[in-house]
Chain A
Amino acid sequence: MEAPLPEAALSRKRFSLYEQVMSNPAQLLWLMTILLVAGMIIIPTAYLAYEAMFSGESISLAPAINALTTSRARESIVNTVIYVVGVTLISLCVGVPLAFLVERTDISPLAKAAVRLTVLVSVITPPFLLTMAYVTLLGPNAGFINVALRKLLGLRGFRGPFNVYSLPGVLLLGSPRSIAMTYLMAAAAFERLPPELEEVAAITGASRARVLRTVTLPLIRNAIFGAALVSVSTALAAYGSPHMLGYSILTLRIREAMVRGNFPEAASISVVLTLVSLVVLLLYRRSISKGSFATVTGRGYRPGLFTTGRAKYILGFAAILYGLLAAVLPIGTLLLVSFFRTMGYGFTAGNWTVANYLYVFRDRFAINAFRNSILLSMGAATISVLLTIVIGYITVRQRTRTSSMIDYISVIPLGISGTALAVALIMTFTNQPFRNLQLYGTLTILLVCYVIRFYPVALRPVQTSMMQISSDLEEAGRSAGATWGGVTRTITFPLVKSGLTAGWILVYLQSLTELSASIILRHIGTDTISTAIMDVWDGGGGYQAACAMAILSMLMVAVIMGIGVVVLGKSFMKVVGSGGC
């Protein structure tokens, strides 16, 4: 016979998942965030893999293997390897010595400032704009420098001496952003390195070269390795600059397959590219989690152990030369060309006009592109910040295994190339069930893409600012007599404000000049600034109009940067610097 249940047991009845979740709304938010963050990566990747492996009725690797073994694909693979290795080597050979010069030697403050500024410019300037500038300068026939040199040296013929459409040209123009990021990582490592470690080696009797070899370099080895991986990852995902120079790497091959309508080929190459990128990302995460040896010390001043002596001016000049080549020359060229009447007349009196800007302001295609980019960037920035607030809260405040998983997933987009993500999104939104949303060809698909690509960029500043507010700070406010609302308003919000603003601006900056994904996702009426510049450059309006658009977009970037600096002070520059990595 069944005994009647005691009342206590009744109240201990099992709750269904639904009831459990509903009883704690925060948990619901948490669950949704995990699903969203994971879904944003897993769903498009799954569609991509499906497209790559599904041929007619069966699932196999055959289509992928076929797509990757054509002679043209093989050529692209070889090109990509050359490009990645070349760009990475250039970045290390330029970025690390520059960081050493600035952080560890006594070259002039002017040269140091020039390097720091150039690095910042390189981080925020889309590589394809720099390439545009150098094509007008070093194009084999009409490049201004080539024309001038031929006249100056009395060379015959109509070509050379320089040719930007060459392997050195491709590699050098692919490098500015990687150099800047390598510089930033190496400089941070040098900065963290306590000078005593070098000083004690010197007083023990080691020469400067020996100190460098046995102490300095071994101690920043991890950072250099990390920087190399970031360069590899950036180079793998590069699109704009190689596109302009016609150097067929895998991202170009993907785009070309999409244009031809060969979706399986595009998907196959995208899958391979993504897998390689993820391996690089994994290695990078491991290299940084191993951490650097160095610890931060509270020393106020930084003694220059490495005095440069007579080489001071040569090294200072080298640093300034970097600034000239990576920033002043290309941007100056874009600016001047944007006021040219006719390209052929070059820098001559009477060849100046504002007509190119008027053209841009009157052209409906251009105006529409600017409008689209601004809307998309603001939308992507706002959504990303909202998302990162939740992720930040989960990962910073609730240290559980799930939160570290979210932490991990949310860096994956940084490793995936825009090209591959765009292809994956097209696969997703042209197949069931997402096809019903009818996003293909709309601005919304671009927005989705920007959010997925760039929210991790906002995550770091938001997380950092959230880490500042240990619960003690809030509790101290409460015990001092403030209400929950008061604490939020006077303590919590002021502390996270700068992080949120920095995150918003970073996403906005990245979105504004996004090219590699946009060029695949754009459709009639959904061009963005970058794709419009490319079209105008490729013939829809000429070099001058493209340069005018480039200058306008860089002005917009500069204005936003200016706002960031005004609102957040100097620390914003640091955030921008680290945000690119």
Chain B
Amino acid sequence: MTKKLQLLEITKRFGSFTAVNDVSLEIGEGEFVSLLGPSGCGKTTTLRLIAGFEKPDAGEILLDGAPISSSSFVLPPERRAMGMVFQTYAVWPHMTVYDNVAYGLRLRKVPQTEIKERVAKIFQTVGLVGQEAKYPSQLSGGQQQRVALARALVYEPEVLLLDEPLSNLDAKLREAMRFEMRRILERTGITVVYVTHNQEEALVLSDRVAVMKDGKIVEESHPETLYAAPKTKFVADFIGLANFMEGTAEAVEDGFLIVRCPWGKVKCVNSQLNRVGDRVTVLIRPEVISLLPASENDSGRDVNCFAGVIKEASFTGSIVEYFVGVGSDENGTTMRVQSPAPRMFSASDRVCVSFEAKSARVVV
């Protein structure tokens, strides 16, 4: 894949606050990359740096290998051949839907007849046929979102920048649009940088996800890898649900690590290549844990198997959520467990918490 967009050690400060701190990222031609992180992590600023709305204090941004932003030079946004969709959609309220979408084509001096054809085509793609003559105020949020997307796509930019485009929609519509957007964007084959704080959105849409925190990229990988094998506690916690157990490495055997925790021993993948004696944090996802009645724990297993008490059990549809207390009162923890329905246990039942060694791993 050829490199479309390169961020090289980009830093951006606002006064004394460093919004983006030494960020490097490469995005390939046609790739869909998400910047994921909590609010204030610098993801939107990174996007605005790529768009050319902000000037980096250090570093360089290259488009097709040519510099477009540095601390001394910023190519103005209008000359970057990019398209952008804002969180607020920023659909111009004084223009009809048609005029909104045709704006970029008119700027490019496309002949009138061709504008008509291309707008009609993009309206078909995004599902806005019949809304052309309306004003944005007559449209719903979801429709405005489509206008914003159509407007950004119609002139076929080389890079599409999306800043939380779905966050102002209600939950149901957000999910529907998520899949629809993937369908539309797959068809165009455009390079996309997508900013979101919604992990599901990032996982569903992206080829690659870069998780940001405090202005830095913490981890960057394919969605599956990021979920199944995160390197950091932050990413493990931010993407999906996580249980963490802290303890001391006691033995290394065969790519696995035995960790002693206050309430028992944990065997997990030695993903960080730790040695005996290291303090480590072990990640166990709630859905890999199985619960057994306490009476069945007589086999004498002492690894990856803890006695616990159900504190709370809630039925949420396809799964049942349990909060299980393990260990003693003064030296214990609460683990979150997700099991397929139906509900097998209720509060104050004694259970055994167990999981396979290969589905637990060390994070830093």
Contacts and interface: CB of A to CB of B under 8 A. Distances in A.
A218 B94 CA distance: 7
Interface stretch (A22-30, A192-200, A226-234, A565-573): A192-200
Contacts of B14: 301
B53 interface: yes
Contact of A305 (B53, B87, B103): B53
Given A199-B77, A199-B86, A204-B151, A303 B94 contact: no
Contacts of A218: 94
A194 to B, nearest CB: 6
B88 A205 contact: no
B84 A205 contact: no
A206 to B, nearest CB: 6
A203 interface: yes
A197 B90 CA distance: 5
Interface in A294-323: 294, 297, 301, 303, 305
B51 interface: yes
Nearest to A204: B104
B172 interface: no
Given A199-B84, A205-B104, A205-B155, A194 B90 contact: yes
Contacts of B161: 203
Contacts of A201: 92, 103
Contacts, number: 70
Given A204-B83, A204-B103, A219 B93 contact: yes
A230 B52 CA distance: 39
Contacts of A297: 88
A215 B148 CA distance: 15
B54 interface: yes
A210 interface: yes
B107 to A, nearest CB: 4
A59 interface: no
Given A204-B104, A204-B155, A303-B53, A196 B78 contact: no
A489 B50 CA distance: 54
B195 to A, nearest CB: 13
A52 to B, nearest CB: 44
A206 B54 contact: no
Nearest to A221: B94
Contacts of B13: none
Contacts of B187: none
Interface in B71-127: 76-84, 86-88, 90, 92-94, 103-104, 107-108
B107 A204 contact: yes
A203 B84 contact: yes
A149 interface: no
A196 B107 CA distance: 18
A207 interface: yes
Contacts of B4: none
A202 B152 CA distance: 12
A20 to B, nearest CB: 44
Nearest to B85: A200
A204 B238 CA distance: 34
B48 interface: yes
A205 B90 contact: no
Nearest to A211: B78
A293 interface: yes
Given A205-B108, A206-B78, A303-B53, A196 B90 contact: yes
Nearest to B86: A196
A210 B83 contact: no
B86 to A, nearest CB: 4
Interface in A209-247: 210, 214-215, 218-219
Nearest to A217: B94
Interface in A444-493: none
A219 B94 contact: yes
Nearest to A305: B53
Interface string B48-79: 10011110000000000000000000001111
Interface in B1-36: 14
A301 B13 CA distance: 13
Contacts of A301: 14
Contacts of A305: 53
Contact of B93 (A199, A204, A206, A293): A293
Contacts of B80: 203
B83 A293 contact: no
Contacts of A196: 86-88, 90
B121 to A, nearest CB: 18
Interface in A132-166: none
A205 B78 contact: yes
Given A210-B107, A218-B94, A219-B94, A200 B76 contact: no
B78 A204 contact: yes
Contact of A203 (B83, B92, B93, B94): B83
Interface string B130-162: 000000000000000000100110010000010
B90 A206 contact: no
A210 B82 CA distance: 17
A414 to B, nearest CB: 28
B48 A215 contact: no
B54 A303 contact: yes
Which residue of A196, A204, A214 has the most chain B CB atoms within 10 A of its CB atom? A204
Given A202-B76, A203-B52, A205-B107, 4 more contacts: A200-B151, A203-B51, A219-B93, A305-B53
Interface of B: 14, 48, 51-54, 76-84, 86-88, 90, 92-94, 103-104, 107-108, 148, 151-152, 155, 161
26 contacts: A194-B90, A196-B88, A199-B51, A199-B53, A199-B77, A199-B84, A199-B86, A199-B90, A200-B148, A201-B92, A202-B53, A203-B51, A203-B52, A203-B78, A203-B80, A203-B82, A203-B84, A203-B161, A204-B83, A204-B155, A205-B81, A205-B104, A205-B155, A207-B78, A215-B92, A219-B94
